[in-house]
Amino acid sequence: MSGPNTGTAAPSSQNMSTRPANGPQDWDMGTKTLLDLERLDGYVAELAVSDDGGHAAAVVEKSPEERIIAVDNQPWEPALEKAWSLRFTSDGRAFALVRIDDEWTIMVDGTPWEERFEFAWNPKLAGGGKVIGVQTKSDMQYSVAVDGKLWDARFLSCRDYALSPDGSRVAAAVQIEELPEADVFKFLEGTWTVVVDEEPWPRKYLNVYTPIFSLDGKHVAAQVRTDATDYTAAIDNQPWAQVFTCIWEPRYRTGSDVLLPVRQQGGWFLAQNGKILWPSKYVQLWHACVSPQDERIAAVVATAYGRWTVAVDDVPWKTTFSDMVAAPVFSPDGHKVAAAVKHDGRWSIAVDGVPWMPTFDMVWEPVFSPGGESIATIVKENGKQSLVVNGRVHSRSFDRLWAPAFSPTGKQILLRGVDGTRVIREVIATTEV
């Protein structure tokens, strides 16, 4: 029952769609074996497949002290002490966190970065999926490295970081003042801030969460706690004048407008630039997202206790779900909204408020076709995973599937999965499902 780790759940990003960043070029129908697991001599700890389905990679444990990474069945040299978090960049380069001679680094296409660290973790991609960032620790100090270049700046702690969309800039939540053990009064003075391209914001906060860049990379927003009971957004170190009793992660619209779920008067609202944008009061509101054209806004809301749904422009869907609603996803034209929903213990996908009829043990995030007419996702039922398109379940099941991708015309779907002992790529007609 216990198989290889075939996917790394990356921390939530601003764009929750799981569609591969770079689609494949090869849309010829048929199946191709990328990796034969039987040829990998050892325990397969992780698997990854490139976005275009052209390459597959594996972390293989040869012995407790020795791991190798094999891409398309070709092992990288040398062997590694440890390797994990195996993924591909959008241009098809495999990379992973690796430990060599008791030091950590990132290895890309078989070549480790020259920089080595006491520890490295939390790799993120930007620049269209080609730029790699990672958090680091050396000599008990924390920093960030991007594409092998480590910041000179070091900090007492670093809890999170963000790359600008083009990958050229970095912002991080960092601790800049020592906090003596159990000093609850010093804590209230603030010991945290945001650092952008190695320059800390001058103001200190009790807490800083989820820094993000604007789409043009010029601005940074973050959740900040300015007093024990006061939370707000800070934009380029300028906190909003309005404070709230609780907030969740900010989102940039096109330009510099910032959305923020805020709690006040015992309910949740959506604010923009410090003012309430959605006047409706919800029991909960989070995962705000903006349509690609920046014309519509969607968010997960609870309209009443235990009644979850999606609100679009402050209008909740009429159907609510008892258990959970995951982050909504807009169609490319912005006309449709879909989300994974769970009701009475069963998962499905709801599109514009209408749930698919079949329900499953688990569903992954929805992926729209380029024209928005079709939605695909991965589902799990009785331990096996399948492709589902527009509510119809594909006849084949797999041990594991990665996110599906539509062809530019929407007429084909790329499947990437594990079928027994083979990692395969398969292109099928959308109408086949």
Partner 1 sequence: MDLQDQAVLDRGIDEGLEKLTPERIEKVIRHVLDNESAARLKVYLETCVHCGLCSEACHTYLSRDKDPDFAPVAKVKDTLWEMVKRKGRVDKDLLRRSARIAFTECGACRRCSMYCPFGIDIAYLIMTVRRICSLLQIVPQYLQDTTNSHAVTSNQMWVQADEWIDTLMWQEEDARDSFADARIPLDKEGAEVMYSVIAPEPKIMAQLLGNMAVIMKAANVDWTMPSADGWDNSNMAMYSGDFEVMGRVERAHWERARALKVERVVMGECGHAYRGAVYDGPKWLGWQKPPIPMIHAVEFYYELIHSGRLKIHRKITEPVTVQDPCNIVRGRGLHHKLRYVVNALCENFTDMDPRYEHNYCCAAGGGIINCGPPWKLSRMKSIRVKAEQMAATGAKICITPCHNCHSGIEDIIGHYKLGMHVSFINELLVKAIAEPQG
Q: Are strands 66-71 and 56-63 parallel, antiparallel or unpaired?
A: antiparallel
Residue 101 engages partner 1 in binding (rule: CB under 8 A): no
Would you state the structure tokens that stand for residue 122, as one six-digit string?
A: 């939390």
Neighbour count for residue 149 (Cβ, 10 Å): 11
Binds partner 1 (CB under 8 A): choice among 266, 275, 357, 395? 266
Which residues in the 195-224 window bind partner 1 by CB under 8 A?
Answer: 206-207
Residue 342 engages partner 1 in binding (rule: CB under 8 A): yes
d(CA 92, CA 89): 5
Which residues neighbour 422 within 8 Å (Cβ) at sequence distance 6 or greater?
33, 34, 35, 36, 37
Q: Are strands 367-368 and 362-363 parallel, antiparallel or unpaired?
A: unpaired
Supply the minimum distance, in Å, between the C-beta of residue 335 and partner 1.
26
Residue 192 engages partner 1 in binding (rule: CB under 8 A): yes
Supply the minimum distance, in Å, between the C-beta of residue 403 and partner 1.
10
Dihedral (C-alpha) 134, 63, 3, 130: value to the nearest 10 degrees?
30
User: Which DSSP category does 151 fall into?
Assistant: P
d(CA 4, CA 54): 20
Please tell me whether residue 267 adopts helix, strand or coil conformation. strand
Residue 276 engages partner 1 in binding (rule: CB under 8 A): no
Residue 284 engages partner 1 in binding (rule: CB under 8 A): yes
Residue 68 engages partner 1 in binding (rule: CB under 8 A): no
Residue 103 engages partner 1 in binding (rule: CB under 8 A): no
Would you state the structure tokens that stand for residue 221, as one six-digit string?
A: 């927003």
Which residues neighbour 42 within 8 Å (Cβ) at sequence distance 6 or greater?
60, 61, 62, 63, 68
Burial of residue 369 (CB within 10 Å: 0-12, 13-18, 19+) is buried
Residue 75-94 contact track with partner 1, rule CB under 8 A, x = bound: -------x-xx---------
Nearest to 268 by CA among 248, 253, 254: 248
Residue 390 engages partner 1 in binding (rule: CB under 8 A): no
Residue 73 engages partner 1 in binding (rule: CB under 8 A): no
Binds partner 1 (CB under 8 A): choice among 79, 100, 108, 283? 283
Binds partner 1 (CB under 8 A): choice among 31, 74, 229, 409? 229
Residue 11 engages partner 1 in binding (rule: CB under 8 A): yes
Binding segment (CB under 8 A) for partner 1, from list 7-15, 106-114, 328-336, 420-428: 7-15
Residue 395 engages partner 1 in binding (rule: CB under 8 A): no
Dihedral (C-alpha) 138, 95, 13, 163: value to the nearest 10 degrees?
60
Binding site for partner 1 (CB under 8 A): 1-3, 5-12, 43, 45, 64, 82, 84-85, 118-119, 121-122, 135, 137, 142, 157, 159, 175, 181-185, 187-188, 192, 206-207, 225, 228-229, 231, 245-246, 248, 263, 265-266, 283-284, 286, 302, 305-306, 308, 322-324, 326, 342, 345, 361-362, 364, 380, 383, 385, 400
